[in-house]
Structure 1
Amino acid sequence: MTERLSPTEQLTSPAPSTRSDRRAWLGLLVVLGPVLLVAMDNSILHLAMPRISESLSPSAGQALWILDVYGFVVGSLLITFGSVGDRYGRLRLMTVGAVVFGAASAGAALSSSPEALIAFRALMGIGGATLLPSGLAVISELFRDPRRRAQAIGIFAATFATGFAIGPVTGGLLLSVFPWGSVFLINLPVVVLFLVFAPTVLREVRGTRPGRVDVLSVVLSSAGLLLTVYTLKDAASHGLGWHQALTGLAGIALVWWFLRRQHRLEHPLVELGLFRERVFAFAIVTGLLSLLVWAAASYLTGIYLQSVLGLDVLTAALLAVPGALVLTVTCVVTPRFFERIGRRIALAAAHLFAGAGLALLLLAGTESGVGWFVASTMIAGIGYGISFSAVADVAVSAVPPERAGAAAAIAETSNELGNALGISLLGATAALVFRLSGPDVAGTLNETLAVPGLAEGAAESARAAFLSGMHVAVVIGSAVSFAVGLLILRLVPRAARVSQAAPASRRVR
C-alpha cells in the first residue's frame, strides 16, 4: 500500500523531480572537472616545451613524443574504454581513470628524464581515455529528459572545447610564475575533488550491456588507431617516407580487420549498423571535419601570428580567447535550437559557419591580419560550437542508455582522428607550397628565419611563401566545409531523427 503525504507534508517536502534535477546538475559539475583537464592536456604543453627542453634536454624525437604520446594513447583507447565502461561500470572506470591520471600527472611533474616524462604522459593518456566516453555516457544517465540532456551535453562539449582552447593560455600564465612541472600539478586538485564527490553524486551503471569485451577487437582497434594516428602526425612532421608508409598501411589493415570482425560478433565493440542512419553518419563526419579544420587553422595561424607578424607566444594565445568564448557560448545555447531547427540544419550550419570563418583568413597579409584572425576565429567558432554540441547529442541519443559509452567513444574518436588529419593533410599542404615557392633556404618558415645572416629579402620571401601555403590550406578546408554542409542539406531528410541501433538479430553478418 502506498503511503500518502498530508497536505502539509506535500507543501514542505521537496519535490522528487527537484531533488533529482539538483543531483543531476551536481553530477554534471563533478564530471566537467576531469573533462576540462583531459582537453587542456592536449595543448597545455605548447608553451612549456622550451622550459622542459632546458631542464631535461630531450632529443628532437623525444620532444615530439612528449608532445604527442598523450594524444596517441587517448585516441587509440577511446573505443575500448567506451565499451568497457558500458559493460563493467562507468563510475568505476572513471574513478580508476582519475586515479591513474592524477598519479601520472604527479609523476610527470617530478620527471627527471625525457624517458620518464614520455612514460608518464602515456599513463595520463590511459587515464584520459577512460574519462571522456564514460563521462558523456554518465550524463546521458543523469538526464533522461531529451531537452535537459541536450543542454547538459552542450555544456559538456563547451567544457571540452574551452579546455582545448585555453590550454596554451593556462600554460603561459603558470609558466610566468611557476616551474614547468606546474602544468601537470594543476591537475591534482581537480582529480581529488572528483574522487571525493563522484561516489556521492554519481550513480553507478554496471552490467547493462550483454556479453564480454572481445579481447581481439580491443587489440585490433587500439593498435590500428595508434598506428594510424602516429603515421599521420609523424608524416606531418617529417614527410611521408617508407617508414611512415609501412606503419600507415599496418594501421589501416588492423582497422579494416577490426571493422570486419565487428560484423561477425554478437556483441561488438562498435555498432556498425548506426552508420546506416544518415544523420548519425554525417554527425561523425562533422565531428571529424570540424576538428580537422580547427586543428589545421590553429596550427597555421599560430605560426602566422608569431613568425609572420612577430607577436610573442602569450599575445598570440590571448588573441584566440574571443573565438574560444564564442565557441563556448555556442556549445551551451545550441541545444535550445535543436527542437526548432532540427539536426539536419544544425549539422549543415556547423560546416557553413566553419567554412565562412576560415575564408576570412584569405584577407590576412604579411604586414597585418590580427583583426581578420580574430574575426575568423569568432565566426568559425560558431560552427565548431554547433558541431561539438550536435555531434555529442546525436551520438548518445542514437543508442539505448546501456550503449551510450560506446557511441560517445565513436564521436570522440572522430574528433581525435580529425585533429591528427588536420595537421597532417592541410599542414602538409601548406608546407609543400612553402617548399615550392619559398627561398629554398630551409624546409620550414621557422627554420628559415633562424638561419644566421639571413638577408631581409629572403626573410620576406619566406613569410610570403608561408602565407601562400596557409591560404591554399584555407581554401581547401573552406571548400570542403561548404561542400559537406550543402551535401547534408541535400541528403539528410528534413525530419531527420536518429533511431536506436538495430538489435543483434538484425545486424548484417
Structure 2
Amino acid sequence: MARVWLPSSRRRTVGGMTEQRVPHSSEPRAWLGLLVILGPVLLVAMDGSVLFLAMPKVTEALSPTADQALWILDIYGFAVGSLLIAFGNIGDRYGRLKLLMTGTAVFGVASAGAAFAPGPELLVAFRALMGVAGATLLPSALAVLSELFTDPRRRAKAIGIFAAAFAAGFAVGPVVGGQLLSGFWWGSVFLINLPVVLLFLLLAPVLLREVRTTGTGRIDVLSVLLSAAGILLTVYAIKHAAAEGVAATPVATGIAGIVTLGWFARRQLRLEHPLIDFRLFRDRVFTIAVVTGLLPLTAWSAAAYLGGIYLQSVLGLAVLDAALVALPGAAVLTVTCVVTPALVARIGTRAALITCHFCVAAGLLLLLPTSGSGGIGWYIASTVIAGIGYGVSFSVVADTAVAAVPAERAGSAAAIAETSNEIGNALGIALLGSLATLIFRLQGPDLAGTLNETLQIQGLAPAVIGDAKTAFVLGLHTAVLIAGILHGALGALTLRWLPRTQPMPQDANEKSSGGGFSRTG
C-alpha cells in the first residue's frame, strides 16, 4: 500500500502502520457518529444469540434435522470469526467506511433473506452471508469510531461504550427474540435488523468520514481459505457424528479439517505478515487472555441455547415467559460490562480474570439441580452468577491481550482476542451443543434426533415424552458440567500463571485502535 504522509498532528503510527487522521469539527457530531455506529454493532452482537429462544419456533416451522438446527445457530459465528482479521486488512486497504457501508447493506439483504427462508438449507445460507457481512462491520466500526475522537480520553470512553453495547447486544439477543416471538412469526427476529440498517446507510455518509491505514502487510488469501475450510470441515464432522453416529464420511471430513488447520498454523509461522501471529502465544498472560475470550463465550452460547430449549420444550414456558426468565442474567451481564473497567482499576487484571472463571464455573454448576419437572429458580441463579463472569470476560480480554505484547504487535493481539470471542461463541453450539445432541440420541427414545423433533411426533405416550425430556436434561447437565470444570481449571491456571502485580493496560485502546480493535462480546 502507498503511504499517506501528513503533518505530524494528522498522523500516528500504530503497530508499524501509519494511520491517516481526519479530525472532526465538533464534539456533538462525534457523539452522534458514535450512536450511528452502535446500530450495526448491536445487530452483529444480537444476531449471534437472537435465535437461542427462537429455535423451537424455527424447528416447528422448517423442521430442520439435528445437524441443520446446529448449523442454523452457529454458521453465523464461524463466518464472523473466520473472516474478522481478513476484513480488517481489506478495510485498511480500501477504506473502513466504504467497507462498513457495504457490509451493512449486505447484512440487511441477508437478514431479509433469512426472515423469509422457505427451508433450513436457505436459512443456513443466509445466516452464513450475515456472518460474512458481520465480519466486515466489527473492525471497520471501531476504526471509524477512533477517527471520531482524536482526544485519547474521550476515545477511550467511546470505545468503552462500544464494548458495553456489543456485550449488551449478545446478552439481550435472546430476550429480544423471545419478545418478538410472543407476537410475531419466527422471521421477525431478522426483520428488526432492516430499520437499523436503513437508518445507518442514510446517516453514516453525513456523520462519518473515511479512514485508511497504510502499511507493508497484505492479505494472504490462502491463509483465509485454509482457516475457514479447516474450521468448517472439523465442525461438520463433529456435528454429523453427534447427530447420526460415527461413520466413514464424518471421520474422513474431520481428519481433512484437522490437517487443513495444521497446514494453516504452519503457514502462519513462515509468513512475514501472518493472519494469526502464533508467536504471541509464548506470553502466558496473552495466552490466558485469549483463552478467556474463547472459553466463556463457548459456555455462554451453549448454556443460553440449551437453556432456551429447556425452558420452553421441557418446562413448557411460553416464549415470552422464557425471555423474562433470561432477563435477570442479561441485566447482570450488561451491568458487569459497564462497571468492570473501574473494578479492574481497583483489584487488578489478575483478580478480575480469576473472578471471571470461578463465577462462570459456579454459575454453570448451578444448572445441575434442574430437572424435567422444575428448576426455574436454579436457572435464574445460574445466569446471574455466571453473568458476572461473562461480563468481566467481555470487558477485559482485549485490553489484557494488548497490554501483554509489544506496542508494534498490538494490532495482531487485539484481532486475535476478538477472533477468539467470535469463534468461542460458535464453538459453544458446535461442541457442547453437539455433545448434548449425542447424549439425547444415546439416552432418548430414539424417535428423532432432537427433543423438539421428538415432541412434534403425534400420539406419543406420556412416558415417552418424559423419557425424551429426561434425556435432554441429561445432555444439558453433561455440557454444563464439562464447561464448568474447564472454567474451574482455567481459574486455577490463571491463579498460578499470572503474576500478582499484573500491569494495567494503560494505553490498550490507543494500541488497538489502529490495527485491530478492542473487545466486545
Q: What TM-score comes out, normalization by structure 1 length?
A: 0.82
Query: Of residues 89, 96, 100 in structure 2, which corresponds to 1:94?
Result: 100
Whether the 8 Å contact between 1:76 and 1:223 is mirrored in structure 2 is no
Q: Taking CA–CA contacts closer than 8 Å with sequence separation of 6 or more, which of the two structures ends up with the larger relative contact order? A: 2
2:372 is equivalent to residue 366 of structure 1? yes
Whether the 8 Å contact between 1:157 and 1:392 is mirrored in structure 2 is no
Whether the 8 Å contact between 1:28 and 1:139 is mirrored in structure 2 is yes
Q: Residues 142-193 of structure 1: CA distance to partner in whole angstroms, max 9, x if unpaired?
A: 5677776565444333322332333343334434545555433322221233
Name the CA distance, whole Å, in 2 between partners of 1:146 and 1:235. 50
2:397 is equivalent to residue 391 of structure 1? yes
Query: Of residues 254, 257, 263 in structure 1, which corresponds to 2:269?
Result: 263
Query: Of residues 473, 481, 487 in structure 2, which corresponds to 1:481?
Result: 487
| 2:421 counterpart residue number | 415
What SS is found at the alignment partner of 2:272? coil
Cα 1:98/1:291, change in 2 over 3 Å: same
Return the letter of the residue paired with 2:167. A
Query: Of residues 327, 333, 338 in structure 2, which corresponds to 1:332?
Result: 338
Q: Residues 325-382 of structure 1: CA distance to partner in whole angstroms, max 9, x if unpaired?
A: 1111111111112222222222221111111111211232333211111111011001
Name the CA distance, whole Å, in 2 between partners of 1:401 and 1:30. 30
| 1:249 counterpart residue number | 255
Name the CA distance, whole Å, in 2 between partners of 1:487 and 1:57. 43
2:305 is equivalent to residue 299 of structure 1? yes
Cα 1:47/1:429, change in 2 over 3 Å: closer
Cα 1:359/1:309, change in 2 over 3 Å: same
| 1:81 counterpart residue number | 87
Cα 1:436/1:247, change in 2 over 3 Å: closer
2:195 is equivalent to residue 189 of structure 1? yes
| 1:285 counterpart residue number | 291
| 1:6 counterpart residue number | none
| 1:212 counterpart residue number | 218
What SS is found at the alignment partner of 2:366? helix
| 1:43 counterpart residue number | 49
Q: RMSD between aligned alpha carbons?
A: 3.5
Q: Residues 67-87 of structure 1: CA distance to partner in whole angstroms, max 9, x if unpaired?
A: 544334223212211232344
Deviation at 1:238, TM superposition (A): 3.9
| 1:3 counterpart residue number | none
Residues 417-496 of structure 1: matches in 2 within 5 Å? 417-434=423-440, 437-438=443-444, 444-496=450-502
| 2:360 counterpart residue number | 354
Query: Of residues 14, 35, 39 in structure 2, which corresponds to 1:33?
Result: 39
Cα 1:44/1:427, change in 2 over 3 Å: closer
Name the CA distance, whole Å, in 2 between partners of 1:117 and 1:301. 22
Whether the 8 Å contact between 2:292 and 2:397 is mirrored in structure 1 is yes
Whether the 8 Å contact between 1:274 and 1:398 is mirrored in structure 2 is no
Return the letter of the residue paired with 1:372. W
Name the CA distance, whole Å, in 2 between partners of 1:150 and 1:364. 42
What SS is found at the alignment partner of 2:368? helix
Whether the 8 Å contact between 1:236 and 1:423 is mirrored in structure 2 is no
Return the letter of the residue paired with 2:165. T
Deviation at 1:236, TM superposition (A): 4.5
Query: Of residues 377, 380, 383 in structure 1, which corresponds to 2:386?
Result: 380
2:230 is equivalent to residue 224 of structure 1? yes
Whether the 8 Å contact between 2:315 and 2:372 is mirrored in structure 1 is yes
Name the CA distance, whole Å, in 2 between partners of 1:326 and 1:72. 27
Name the CA distance, whole Å, in 2 between partners of 1:188 and 1:142. 25
2:165 is equivalent to residue 163 of structure 1? no
Return the letter of the residue paired with 1:474. V
Return the letter of the residue paired with 1:209. G
Return the letter of the residue paired with 1:483. A
| 1:504 counterpart residue number | none
Return the letter of the residue paired with 1:278. R
| 1:320 counterpart residue number | 326
Runs of 5+ unmatched residues, structure 2: 1-22, 513-521
Whether the 8 Å contact between 2:54 and 2:177 is mirrored in structure 1 is yes
Name the CA distance, whole Å, in 1 between partners of 2:100 and 2:410. 15
Between 447-456 and 273-282, the greater mean CA deviation after superposition:
447-456
What SS is found at the alignment partner of 1:363? coil
| 2:19 counterpart residue number | none
Percent of residue pairs identical:
65
Q: Matched residue pairs, number?
A: 485
Query: Of residues 117, 130, 135 in structure 2, which corresponds to 1:124?
Result: 130
| 1:14 counterpart residue number | none
Deviation at 1:234, TM superposition (A): 4.4
Name the CA distance, whole Å, in 2 between partners of 1:25 and 1:335. 21
Deviation at 1:479, TM superposition (A): 1.7
Deviation at 1:284, TM superposition (A): 0.9
